[in-house]
């Protein structure tokens, strides 16, 4: 008999597999162009790690993803393009398990057309503000799948890696900060510098995952999750702006299991309850 979970993934893939196009060149997620943002603990971001509610999220994933794909045109188009690219890369027709479905989600996030990551990241930075904001968040399934990817595809040796991120913004940065979104970085400093150096980050991430084989852009790309905490070790002024060195000091999931209505009253989950303004 067919595995029920396998049928689920086939259903999701089949319904959105029509009208797929060819990938177009574009820029990835490495740069931000807003003036004077404050980088801190991003208290309002959706940092859910789904600890203790993984199975319940998996049980509603089919209906959730189909509902969101039907509601959001950009999400549906990005998913269709991602499925096409995943099929080309894997030489498979449809994803058969959670890991493969998470790979499609990464393709959707990093895709050039349509550029989903901007809307997704902007929504993620405020979806943890409260129950109403979370209810209106249109990317719950994508957030879940990307989070599962960051947990499933971690380095087997558990080593932290040095990565770089270039931005076009001079941030005001607190001692402890989170990016408050899924954030693309590169293990290649030269690649990161292409995305501007107004604020240039040199990071040691222990939670980021290598997604270079699941991205249209060959950037030695590492995806950092919104729940990873960094501590600033130095800030150096440069002709362009500043270079920030920071290291991972752990994780925190203030809004864990938000789908079950949890995570809104736990005031001890994260240090420094501040808001990320972007």
Distance CA 95, CA 117 (A): 22
Helix H or strand E segment including 141: helix 140-152
Q: Which of 29, 72, 77, 165 is catalytic?
A: 165
Distance CA 150, CA 182 (A): 10
- Give the relative orientation of helices 98-110 and 140-152 as an angle to the nearest 10 degrees: 110
Distance CA 50, CA 218 (A): 30
- Scanning the structure block, which residue is given the tokens 């901007």? 118
- Indicate the pairing of strand 242-251 with strand 161-167: unpaired
Structure-token pair, residue 274: 């501040």
Give yes or no: 213 in active site.
no
Distance CA 124, CA 46 (A): 5
CA–CA distances in Å: residue 62 to residues 59, 65, 247:
7, 6, 37
Give CA angle at 15 (11, 18), nearest 5°.
140
Give yes or no: 221 in active site.
yes
Give CA angle at 165 (159, 171), nearest 5°.
120
Q: Which of 184, 215, 248, 253 is catalytic?
A: 184
Please state, as a whole number, how many other Cβ atoms lie within 10 Å of the Cβ of residue 167. Answer: 23
Give yes or no: 29 in active site.
no
β-sheet with 209-210: strand ranges across: 176-177, 228-237, 242-251, 199-205, 161-167, 183-186, 221-224, 209-210
Q: Which of 45, 221, 248, 253 is catalytic?
A: 221
Indicate which residues carry an active-site annotation: 165, 184, 221
């Amino acid at each position: 008999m067919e595995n029920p979970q396998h049928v689920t993934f086939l259903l999701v893939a089949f319904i959105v597999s029509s009208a797929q196009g060819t990938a177009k060149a574009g820029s990835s997620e490495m740069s931000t162009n807003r003036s004077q943002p404050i980088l801190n603990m991003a208290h309002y971001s959706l940092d859910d790690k789904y600890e203790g509610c993984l199975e319940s999220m998996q049980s509603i994933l089919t209906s959730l993803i189909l509902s969101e794909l039907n509601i959001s045109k950009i999400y549906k188009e990005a998913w269709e393009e991602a499925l096409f690219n995943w099929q080309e890369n894997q030489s498979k027709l449809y994803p058969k398990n959670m890991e493969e479905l998470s790979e499609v989600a990464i393709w959707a996030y990093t895709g050039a057309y349509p550029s989903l990551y901007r809307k997704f990241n902007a929504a993620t930075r405020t979806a943890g503000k409260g129950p109403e904001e979370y209810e209106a968040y249109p990317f719950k399934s994508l957030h879940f799948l990307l989070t599962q990817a960051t947990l499933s595809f971690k380095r087997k040796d558990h080593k932290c890696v040095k990565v770089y991120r270039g931005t076009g913004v001079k941030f005001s940065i607190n001692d402890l900060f989170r990016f408050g979104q899924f954030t693309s970085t590169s293990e290649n400093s030269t690649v990161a510098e292409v995305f501007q150096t107004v604020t240039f980050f040199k990071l040691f991430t222990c939670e980021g995952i290598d997604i270079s084989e699941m991205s249209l852009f060959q950037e030695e790309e590492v995806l950092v999750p919104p729940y990873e905490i960094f501590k600033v070790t130095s800030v150096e002024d440069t002709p362009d702006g500043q270079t920030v060195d920071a290291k991972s000091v752990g994780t925190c999931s203030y809004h864990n299991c938000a789908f079950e209505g949890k995570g809104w009253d736990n005031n001890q989950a994260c240090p420094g309850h501040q808001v990320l303004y972007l």
